[in-house]
Amino acid sequence: MQMTMRWFGPEEDKIPLEHIRQVPGVTGVVGALYDVPVGEVWPKEKIKALIEQAHNAGLTMEVIESVNIHDDIKIGLPSRERYIANYQQTIRNLADFGVKVICYNFMPVFDWMKTDMNYVLPDGSLTMAFEKAGIDKSLDEVVKEVLENSNGFALPGWEPERLAKVQELFAKYQDVDDALLRENLAYFLRAIIPVCEEVGVKMAIHPDDPPYSIFGLPRVVKNRDDLDWICNAVDSEANGLTLCTGSIAEDPENDVYAILKEFSSRKRIHFAHVRNIKIIKDKDFYESAHPTQYGSLNMLKVIKSLHDNGFDGYIRPDHGRFIWGETGRPGYGLYDRALGVTYLLGLWEAVSQH
Ligand SMILES: [Mn+2]
């Protein structure tokens, strides 16, 4: 197991790598290029510069999150061929600089959805929340609210240029149902997994957040059966998962521990996002502090399910609250994620010595 933290690069992240280096137990950062348009090839010189920065700070960068998938691939348009060829080249370029895992998602339009970016907890800390009532309004209104509450930071998957055309994007997905989206995912995987096998990279799909349909959009990474279908679509270890405990747990019907156990045993979890959430009622929730007592997940059981079933991939605390007056990109403050790291490593050490 290798403990990492996400880092958005020198332009996009106000947290210096030197500070991440000082969090005990963190050996690497999870990064990405944010100035390459979705669908284009990631140039070698930019990848080199990015990864060198991590190395110069004494950290590895073996996981990339995310190389996003162009909408034409998800919709299944003829132009997907060009974008798939570009994706294959990006995989080769990343492998050249030591990248081992690529996290991605296959969600139409939105990479994730929250309705409150500054939800105040009883202790005065700020977190993100999702309440169904928050999306029972017009699409434009919801998009506007998320963009306005991002504290001036570009949120991953919520690029304002792209979302300015949100109505147009929705129209393009009009005829894409779950079955077609799934077929388009399999088509993509059949094209890229052989390249991954050749260069030693593992793909790791992130579950839908939230793991059910919103605004009538199709969803195909929601639960155990979806994950099983994806693993079988191309039966290769290179075709794997980013197991995000928070996203999976946002549907109370999902048995997070059983999913962790099954897919760790099957050697398909290459990357784990570990966070706790607190269900408020039905499917409404907020992202709580990591320890078990603050959320709805038993974090000892989460770590045990990974550890006892042979998980040896990369792990990171997913999001953190804003505490101690810190401000910045919602979900990605340094302090609470650092607390998450030490807590998760403490659990890991305990279960390792049993
Ligand atoms: Mn996640």
| CATH code of the domain in which 18 resides | 3.20.20.150
Residue 324 counted as domain residue: yes
Number of domains in the chain: 1
- At 76, give phi and psi (nearest 5°): 85, 30
Give the pLDDT of residue 156.
64
Which parts of 196-295 are beta strand (E)?
202-205, 239-244, 269-274, 277-281, 284-287
Residue 84 counted as domain residue: yes
Q: Which residues of the chain have pLDDT under 70?
A: 153-157, 354
Q: β-strands 60-65, 101-104: how paired?
A: parallel
- At 284, give phi and psi (nearest 5°): -80, 140
CA angle, 12 as apex, 8 and 16 as ends, to 5°?
Answer: 70
| Total Cβ atoms within 10 A of residue 10 | 12
Which stretches of 8-107 are DSSP H helices? Answer: 9-12, 17-21, 44-56, 71-75, 80-96
CA 29 from chain centre, in angstroms, equals: 14
Residue 310 counted as domain residue: yes
Contact 213, 167 (CB under 8 A): no
From the CA of 78, how far away is ligand 1's center (Å)?
Answer: 31
Residues 250 and 90: their CA atoms lie apart, in Å, by 32
318 is catalytic: yes
Residue 62 counted as domain residue: yes
Residues 317 and 3: their CA atoms lie apart, in Å, by 9
From the CA of 83, how far away is ligand 1's center (Å)?
Answer: 25
Residues 217 and 183: their CA atoms lie apart, in Å, by 15
319 is catalytic: yes
226 is catalytic: no
**Any idea how long the chain is?**
354
Of these residues, 71, 319, 335, 343, which one is catalytic?
A: 319
From the CA of 209, how far away is ligand 1's center (Å)?
Answer: 8
Residue type, 101: V
Residues 28 and 99: their CA atoms lie apart, in Å, by 12
Residue 138 counted as domain residue: no
Q: Which domain holds residue 19?
A: 2-107+172-274+296-352
Of these residues, 273, 307, 335, 343, which one is catalytic?
A: 273
Residues 115 and 134: their CA atoms lie apart, in Å, by 5
From the CA of 271, how far away is ligand 1's center (Å)?
Answer: 10
Residue 83 counted as domain residue: yes
Give the pLDDT of residue 155.
65
Residues 321 and 330: their CA atoms lie apart, in Å, by 8
| Total Cβ atoms within 10 A of residue 75 | 19
Which parts of the chain are beta strand (E)?
2-6, 28-31, 60-65, 101-104, 116-120, 126-130, 202-205, 239-244, 269-274, 277-281, 284-287, 314-317
Q: Which residues lie near ion ligand 1 (Cβ < 5 Å)?
A: 244, 273, 318
Give the pLDDT of residue 352.
95
Residue 78 counted as domain residue: yes
From the CA of 243, how far away is ligand 1's center (Å)?
Answer: 8
Residue 305 counted as domain residue: yes
